[in-house]
Structure 1
């Protein structure tokens, strides 16, 4: 009888503890705002191949030449803002911020920065406009390749592939795609 009562008590106690654990996470607005920039990039392939999409043209006169030391001003991922890096490639293209639902399921990714013209299936040379839809051919993040994206913004600019050391002590990131020119500064 005592064993049954003990098992019954445990049966009730475990779900209560599980639910209490779910509620213990902070839901403060500032914490959510702080995580917003990196949350949608958690599954990002931090390091990648130096291979670039077919048809991508090297920039003729980039502000930051290949081999330049730079400071990254963007905060696409944890440890990226103010990281020291080196330019590995510079290309002239149209860069897009996109929103999409990963092919692998999960939460919708909003305002992902960046996907370039050459990474959108069938985009050709036509610059897409906010609200247009396109299929992503890049695999910067888990579930990205093959996902239908909605264009949030578009800008013709120079994009850079960079190597950098995260400011949070993480492992060196190689061939990160993409950072725009206004997201970089000369290294100090």
Structure 2
């Protein structure tokens, strides 16, 4: 009887120790938690509607003499999403407006999207013509990502600039992207 009890105790002890070591192994395998901004950056890129119909908001004015005219080519110097940086883009539209960096909580639920680039003046409900100050609460009319349209947002920063709609081929997966909205002038460079 004593021998049986001792065997059961040893088996239970081995079981407990085995479970503890598995927990430690699992925690070693788990990736380090990402910084929130890093996570949001990935979500932002992954869920973005890369292509669009090319329709522009009412009231958006074409730029008379853009640095990169419609039909010309430029190199993308930004990485709003994987496969953009370094891609050769064809300009499909150039507009004079104010571009905003915004943070918002999607109407579809989920975590807050931080520092989304770009939403333009004409994609903000009742924005009027004045430049909106950082901290201003707004409602988005842009539909670049699921849950963006109708979302409550906060202005993080603004830039009076020419924004471009561009066509390009992703450098990571070869996806053809048509009428991507928006890239600012500072995010483009001349083709050499």
Where on the TM-score scale, by shorter chain, does this alignment land: which range? Answer: 0.7 to 0.9
Indicate yes or no: 2:32 matched with 1:27: yes
For these two proteins, the number of residue pairs brought into alignment is: 172
Pick from 117, 122, 126: which aligns with 1:122?
126
Q: Contact (CA 8 Å) 2:104, 2:113: kept in 1 or not?
A: yes
Indicate yes or no: 2:188 matched with 1:184: yes
Identify the residue that residue 152 of structure 2 maps to in structure 1: 148
Q: Contact (CA 8 Å) 1:93, 1:158: kept in 2 or not?
A: yes
For structure 1, the residue ranges without an aligned partner over 5 or more in a row are 1-12
Q: Contact (CA 8 Å) 2:40, 2:114: kept in 1 or not?
A: no
TM-score by length of 2: 0.82
Cα distance in 1 for partners of 2:147, 2:36 equals 23
Q: How does 1:1-188 map to 2 (within 5 A)?
A: 20=26, 24-27=29-32, 37-188=41-192
Root mean square deviation, CA, Å: 2.5
- How far off its partner does 1:24 sit? 3.3
Query: Which of structures 1 and 2 has the bigger CA Rg?
Result: 2
For structure 2, the residue ranges without an aligned partner over 5 or more in a row are 1-18
Distance 1:170 1:38, change over 3 A: farther
Q: Contact (CA 8 Å) 1:37, 1:75: kept in 2 or not?
A: no
TM-score by length of 1: 0.83
- How far off its partner does 1:41 sit? 2.4
Distance 1:128 1:145, change over 3 A: same
Cα distance in 2 for partners of 1:167, 1:35 equals 22
- How far off its partner does 1:42 sit? 1.6
Distance 1:37 1:106, change over 3 A: closer
